[in-house]
Chain A
Amino acid sequence: DQQVKQNSPSLSVQEGRISILNCDYTNSMFDYFLWYKKYPAEGPTFLISISSIKDKNEDGRFTVFLNKSAKHLSLHIVPSQPGDSAVYFCAARATGNQFYFGTGTSLTVIP
């Protein structure tokens, strides 16, 4: 059963607006959450992460929010740029163990 879920396969946003990507998880043992960005024919690259002891982490245009009670995290990109168009994967980990990935959300930023 999928422990990390991304229910939106795709998202389109106008350049300059906010992109919000969502992710849900089921395992309460997860203590570290990550977002990866992937272009076609390339490996995923790490974008931003958050520990379970925090509820928000910000890095430039990217902010990740964690709601542990709802087992939900989201990635906000503000302002969105055409170069942000990619597939975004949410991932979760219990310390020392494997990473579990969602199915990905394809973001298209329209100029």
Chain B
Amino acid sequence: DVKVTQSSRYLVKRTGEKVFLECVQDMDHENMFWYRQDPGLGLRLIYFSYDVKMKEKGDIPEGYSVSREKKERFSLILESASTNQTSMYLCASSLLKGTTEAFFGQGTRLTVV
């Protein structure tokens, strides 16, 4: 069974903290994505990566960075957490080519206080 695993289901962090969200996939997918989901705004792409050490900005990259040192792992970093980054964060992966879907992790509900 294919799997995308996010390191935490729930996180509470303080304003100004550096936050790491980890994601691992076991499907040998080239593409990996980080989205955030907010009510009424749907899923918005923060960053994606199509290969190791490669990254592309999505629609809302401000305040975030990413790291992909290994094919199976994609990390999202909040450099200095702020309350407006309280959200549900979703990691996904997919094949680079072909008509295939993205597979999502279970999500991380991050609250910044």
- Chain A interface residues (CB < 8 Å from chain B): 6, 9, 31-32, 34, 36, 41-46, 49, 51, 89, 91, 95-96, 98-104
- Chain B interface residues (CB < 8 Å from chain A): 4, 9, 31, 33, 35, 40-45, 48, 50, 56, 58, 88, 90, 92, 94, 96-99, 101-107, 109
Interface of B is mostly: strand
The total of Cβ contacts below 8 Å across the A-B interface reads 61
Tell whether, in the assembled complex, residue A44 and residue B48 are in contact, meaning their CB atoms are under 8 Å apart. no
Tell whether, in the assembled complex, residue A103 and residue B107 are in contact, meaning their CB atoms are under 8 Å apart. no
Tell whether, in the assembled complex, residue B105 and residue A43 are in contact, meaning their CB atoms are under 8 Å apart. yes
Tell whether, in the assembled complex, residue B41 and residue A42 are in contact, meaning their CB atoms are under 8 Å apart. no
A49-B101 contact given A9-B40, A89-B42, A101-B35, CB 8 Å threshold? yes
A98-B42 contact given A31-B99, A49-B101, CB 8 Å threshold? no
Tell whether, in the assembled complex, residue B103 and residue A42 are in contact, meaning their CB atoms are under 8 Å apart. no
Tell whether, in the assembled complex, residue B43 and residue A98 are in contact, meaning their CB atoms are under 8 Å apart. no
In whole angstroms, what is the CA distance A36 to B98 when docked?
18
Tell whether, in the assembled complex, residue B99 and residue A101 are in contact, meaning their CB atoms are under 8 Å apart. no
Tell whether, in the assembled complex, residue A95 and residue B107 are in contact, meaning their CB atoms are under 8 Å apart. no
